[in-house]
């Protein structure tokens, strides 16, 4: 009886120990920080809160990426309550946007050989951003560092190379900083592990995750590994700047080609699929809202109406294209001043210019020397003495019947002859009575006769 009671007591204490063990989430932030990453980080944080985790360890090794994506991640980390400790475990580089995310964490732990800093903003050409953008980034880095009790001057120096300093206040003590290369004007600040520890940016240096848990006083904690799922991988791929640009290009070209041809075909399908992938990815990544999606759908509906319902291409189609462009312009959720705004305007101007260019090309190209070289230089007209070899001109004014649908081309029966014809404007259904309006070469133009 005593051994049995001992075993039951032992099992109780073991189970109690397991249930009371700390739960730690291990979340990787590697490679480029793109617009699809915040959705993954926010999911990890939400699950950690639901599971009442004790800590979240962000395994960071990145040269940076999208500042707007990093800003979303930074905000999500700062909004966590103090019951969950956040740790930036820098195993390689925490450059640029990676430095901003690291500064937002409660603790920063670095391995030997790691570094943090070099967070200046650049424009889409890779050049240093404008003073307005640098000022915005400097303020954001400073406020993030202050929120976690770290040196704001060091955080600012990671962004702005115009900042110089000789001393840094760390935990109330003034430390000499002249040995830091980034302390001189004209140099961005990047800190090694030793320097980050000395000046209070980092809290500890270890090499493995279990050592991080030991530093947190959570040895033996249960570790839950997080990784992006297939849908988040797809979103990160589709929101890549190059891929999203290709999707927009295919979408617009597909719709434009479809507008120029009767009915519905492959170009229109490709265009709709491309725009759906682009906008679906931005919606999933929470870069777009339902309002923007509605604007896009209205634009697509107008284009479809122009292609399928209204013959030709006019005001409705142009309004549809403009509405789609407006929906795409409204997508950016966290535009930075100046450069990102100008980039968005550049996108709109580029698309508008492309549409105008295509329209003008259709009007001007046929008069160009190049076009004259690859096409016949003249048009054969009956008024100039040309007559067809099959004598179709005598059919002008004759009545007949459509033996196929004319949308706008099809077959008609005139004087017991089967002839290829083109509708003057409206679509003509099979069986409708028609009248021959004109004959130019082999082109027979007909119109539908109204039945009384």
Any idea where the domains of the chain sit in the sequence? 2-228, 231-365, 382-448
- Residue 87 and residue 58: Cα distance in Å, rounded? 6
- Residue 299 and residue 57: Cα distance in Å, rounded? 44
pLDDT digits (tens, 9 = 90+) for 33-80: 887 888 899 999 999 999 999 999 999 999 988 888 899 999 999 999
Q: Is the pTM of this model over 0.75?
A: no
Mean pLDDT throughout 189-213? 95
Query: In terms of Cα–Cα distance, which of 166, 60, 161, 63 is closest to 103?
Result: 60
Q: Which residue has the higher pLDDT, 246 or 338?
A: 246
Ordered alpha helix ranges (H), 205-265: 209-215, 230-238, 241-259
Domain 382-448 -> CATH class:
mainly beta
Instruction: For residue 346, list its beta bridge partners.
Output: none
Q: Return the SS3 of 292.
A: helix
Q: Return the SS3 of 307.
A: helix
- Residue 178 and residue 192: Cα distance in Å, rounded? 15
- pLDDT of 2 > 90? The answer is no
- pLDDT of 292 > 70? The answer is no
| The pLDDT value given to residue 29 | 95
Instruction: Answer for the pair 51, 224: CB distance below 8 angstroms, yes or no.
Output: yes
Query: In terms of Cα–Cα distance, which of 127, 72, 124 is closest to 100?
Result: 72
Which residues are within 8 A (CB) of 11 and not within 5 positions of it... i.e. 6 or more apart?
A: none
pLDDT digits (tens, 9 = 90+) for 141-166: 999 999 999 999 999 999 988 888 88
| The pLDDT value given to residue 387 | 46
| The pLDDT value given to residue 452 | 58
Q: Is 2-228's fold the same as 382-448's?
A: no
Average pLDDT, the chain: 78
Which residues are within 8 A (CB) of 237 and not within 5 positions of it... i.e. 6 or more apart?
A: 36, 243
Name the CATH superfamily, with its identifier, for domain 2-228. Answer: 2-enoyl-CoA Hydratase; Chain A, domain 1 (3.90.226.10)
- pLDDT of 241 > 80? The answer is no
Phi/psi of residue 398, each to 5°?
Answer: -75, 155
| The pLDDT value given to residue 48 | 95
């Amino acid at each position: 009886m005593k051994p049995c009671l001992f075993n039951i007591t032992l099992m109780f204490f073991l189970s109690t120990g397991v249930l009371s063990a700390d739960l730690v989430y291990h979340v990787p932030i590697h490679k480029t920080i793109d617009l699809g990453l915040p959705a993954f980080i926010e999911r990890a944080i939400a699950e950690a809160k639901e599971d009442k985790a004790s800590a979240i360890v962000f395994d960071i090794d990145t040269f940076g990426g999208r500042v707007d994506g990093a800003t979303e991640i930074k905000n999500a980390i700062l909004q966590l309550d103090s019951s969950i400790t956040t740790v930036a475990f820098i195993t390689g580089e925490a450059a640029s946007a990676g430095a901003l995310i690291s500064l937002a964490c409660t603790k920063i732990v670095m391995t030997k050989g790691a570094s943090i800093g070099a967070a200046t903003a650049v424009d889409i050409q890779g050049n240093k951003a404008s003073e307005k953008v640098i000022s915005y980034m400097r303020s954001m880095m400073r406020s993030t560092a202050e929120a976690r009790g770290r040196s704001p001057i060091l955080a600012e120096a990671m962004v702005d190379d115009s900042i110089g300093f000789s001393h840094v206040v760390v935990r109330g003590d003034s430390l000499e900083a002249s040995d830091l290369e980034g302390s001189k004007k004209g140099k961005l600040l990047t800190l090694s592990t030793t320097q980050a520890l000395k000046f209070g940016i980092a809290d500890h240096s270890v090499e493995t995750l279990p050592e991080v848990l030991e530093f947190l006083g959570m040895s033996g904690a249960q570790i839950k590994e997080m990784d992006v799922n297939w849908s988040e991988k797809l979103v990160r791929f589709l929101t890549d700047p190059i891929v999203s640009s290709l999707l927009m290009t295919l979408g617009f070209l597909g719709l434009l080609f479809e507008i120029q041809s009767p009915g519905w075909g492959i170009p229109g399908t490709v265009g709709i699929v491309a725009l759906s992938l682009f906008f679906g990815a931005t919606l999933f990544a929470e870069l777009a809202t339902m309002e923007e999606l509605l604007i896009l759908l209205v634009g697509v509906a107008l284009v479809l109406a122009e292609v399928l319902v209204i013959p030709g291409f006019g005001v409705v189609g142009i309004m549809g294209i403009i509405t789609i462009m407006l929906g795409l312009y409204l997508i950016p959720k966290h535009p930075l001043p100046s450069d990102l705004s100008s980039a968005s305007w550049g996108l709109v101007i580029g698309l508008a210019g492309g549409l105008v260019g295509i329209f003008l090309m259709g009007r001007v190209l046929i008069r160009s020397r190049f076009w004259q070289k690859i096409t016949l230089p003249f048009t054969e007209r009956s008024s100039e003495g040309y007559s067809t070899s099959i004598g179709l001109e005598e059919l002008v004014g004759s009545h007949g019947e459509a033996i196929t649908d004319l949308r706008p081309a099809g077959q008609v029966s005139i004087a017991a002859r089967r002839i290829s014809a083109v509708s003057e404007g409206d679509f003509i259904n099979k069986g409708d009575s028609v009248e021959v309006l004109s004959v130019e070469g082999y082109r027979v133009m007909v119109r539908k006769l109204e039945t009384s």
